[in-house]
């Protein structure tokens, strides 16, 4: 009897140890997977305005901590320190660099701006057959989204210029310089005669300009530089970022809007106040449109500090937007989610409109609000970039830190 009980006890202990080992293995595997994921998606460098450990706004508890041997190096404004990301404040994820600096101060926008934009070269928006299934553009290797920079050595400034070159070619080859996704190459285009139009055609639809309404995000009081939109000016057919030739922003008055509904995003309508440029456009990129203001309408006294991405948190916030005239108003929103991944680009923040007035009037976020500043705890944290088509009360935003870094790339602003 005693031997039987001992045998049962041994069997039970083995089963318990086996179960515990399996559970421990599962936990360790999960932790390793989480660490691997955060190691891939979280940035390797951070700006901070003060020393000390801070909790990042991730789904799980992730902290950014200075290493002990780097504390003194980060004590001075502008100093760099070695840091480390840790899961639950204990498990190392990866090393990170920390730059301690004073937060830049910016004048928040919210005012509407008109965009006048001329491309560098001309963009192919569509290719089609000219006759009998023949498309010279396709045969030359062109496709929608390509940007044609020059033709027979002539720098292209307009669609009509390229059209004239093609129609007068008499079918002879035209040497084109083309840019596709930052790669530049040459092709030979052989136009064919179109019986329908009575002229030579290449089988391409092209675009050389864009215009629209957006929202100013900020003005740097120290330099007079601005940022707007929070996303690039893109071609409406190909969704490719338009290469900047020249451009300007102009004053706009909002005259009305179409209310947003599920499956149908609304839109702001406005008219250009005058032909005078309010500012230049010197850069068009993933993070927005940047340039210099000709005559600032706001004073430096209204400037507020920015919040670095490591400081942004879920919770209540406000947006500045204009849905009538040209004076912005504050509207209540909730920051629901924060994505620190560098691949998120213009979709770092998920916001939900909670302001009953704005919900009643526009249904939430509508087209034209892109660039509306997001303010939390008295700091400028980002800008509205997109509306959810399935739910106009919600949308995406970009970190203001990322907009400033893109602006710096063009030699603008006093960014961190």
Active-site annotation, residues? 231, 355, 370
Residue 304 near residue 378, CB atoms below 8 Å: yes
Tell me the C-alpha distance between 218 and 105, whole Å. Answer: 10
Instruction: At 239, list the tokens.
Output: 């969704």
Beta bridge partners of 66: 83
Beta-sheet pairing, 112-127 with 204-219: antiparallel
Maximum Cα interatomic distance, the chain, rounded to a whole number of Å: 108
Instruction: At 174, list the tokens.
Output: 């035209």
What backbone torsions phi and psi does residue 334 show, to the nearest 5 degrees? -125, 125
Helix (H, G, I), strand (E, B) or coil at 90: coil
Residue 98 near residue 74, CB atoms below 8 Å: yes
Residue 321 near residue 369, CB atoms below 8 Å: yes
Return the DSSP state at 261.
Answer: B
Q: Report how far apart the first and last C-alpha atoms of the chain are (Å, whole number).
A: 78
State the CB neighbour count (10 A cutoff) for residue 402. 22
7 half-sphere exposure, CB direction, 13 A CA radius = 4
Instruction: At 8, list the tokens.
Output: 């049962």
Write the CA distances from 106 to 240, 302, 306, 342, integer angstroms: 30, 8, 7, 23
Q: Give how far the C-alpha of residue 294 lies from the chain's centroid of Cα atoms, to the nearest Å.
A: 25
Return the DSSP state at 72.
Answer: G
- 120-142 core/surface letters (b: 16 or more CB in 10 A; e: else): bbbbbbebeebeeeebbbeebeb
Tell me the C-alpha distance between 218 and 234, whole Å. Answer: 21
């Amino acid at each position: 009897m005693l031997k039987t009980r001992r045998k049962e006890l041994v069997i039970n202990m083995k089963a318990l140890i086996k179960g515990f080992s399996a559970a421990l293995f599962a936990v360790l595997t999960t932790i390793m997977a989480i660490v691997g994921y955060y190691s891939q998606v979280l940035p390797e460098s951070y700006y901070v305005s003060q020393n000390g450990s801070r909790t990042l706004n991730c789904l799980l508890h992730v902290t950014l901590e200075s290493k002990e041997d780097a504390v003194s190096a980060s004590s001075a404004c502008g100093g760099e320190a070695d840091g480390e990301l840790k899961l639950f404040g204990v498990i190392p994820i990866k090393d990170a660099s920390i730059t301690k600096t004073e937060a830049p101060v910016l004048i928040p926008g919210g005012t509407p701006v008109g965009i006048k934009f001329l491309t560098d070269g001309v963009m192919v928006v569509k290719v089609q057959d000219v006759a009998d299934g023949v498309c010279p553009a396709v045969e030359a290797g062109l496709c929608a989204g390509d940007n044609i920079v020059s033709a027979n050595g002539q720098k292209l400034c307009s669609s009509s210029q390229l059209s004239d070159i093609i129609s007068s070619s008499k079918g002879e080859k035209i040497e084109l310089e083309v840019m596709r996704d930052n790669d530049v190459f040459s092709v030979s285009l052989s136009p064919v005669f179109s019986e329908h139009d009575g002229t030579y055609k290449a089988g391409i639809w092209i675009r050389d300009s864009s215009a629209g309404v957006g929202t100013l995000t900020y003005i740097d009081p120290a330099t007079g530089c601005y940022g707007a939109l929070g996303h690039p000016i893109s071609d409406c057919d190909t969704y490719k970022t338009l290469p900047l030739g020249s451009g300007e922003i102009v004053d706009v008055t909002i005259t009305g809007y179409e209310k947003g509904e599920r499956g149908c995003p609304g839109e702001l309508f406005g008219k250009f106040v005058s032909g005078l440029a309010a500012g230049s456009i010197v850069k068009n990129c993933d993070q927005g449109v940047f340039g210099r203001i000709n005559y600032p309408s706001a004073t430096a006294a209204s400037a507020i500090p920015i919040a670095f991405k490591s400081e942004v948190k879920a919770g209540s916030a406000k947006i500045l937007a204009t849905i009538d005239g040209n004076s912005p108003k504050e509207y209540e929103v909730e920051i629901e989610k924060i994505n620190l991944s560098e691949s998120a680009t213009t979709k770092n923040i998920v916001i939900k409109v909670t302001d009953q007035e704005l919900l009643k009037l526009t249904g939430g976020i509508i087209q034209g609000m892109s660039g509306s500043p997001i303010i939390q705890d008295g700091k400028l944290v980002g800008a509205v970039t997109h509306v959810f088509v399935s739910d106009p009360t919600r949308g995406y935003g970009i970190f203001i830190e990322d907009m400033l870094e893109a602006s710096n790339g063009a030699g603008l602003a006093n960014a961190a």
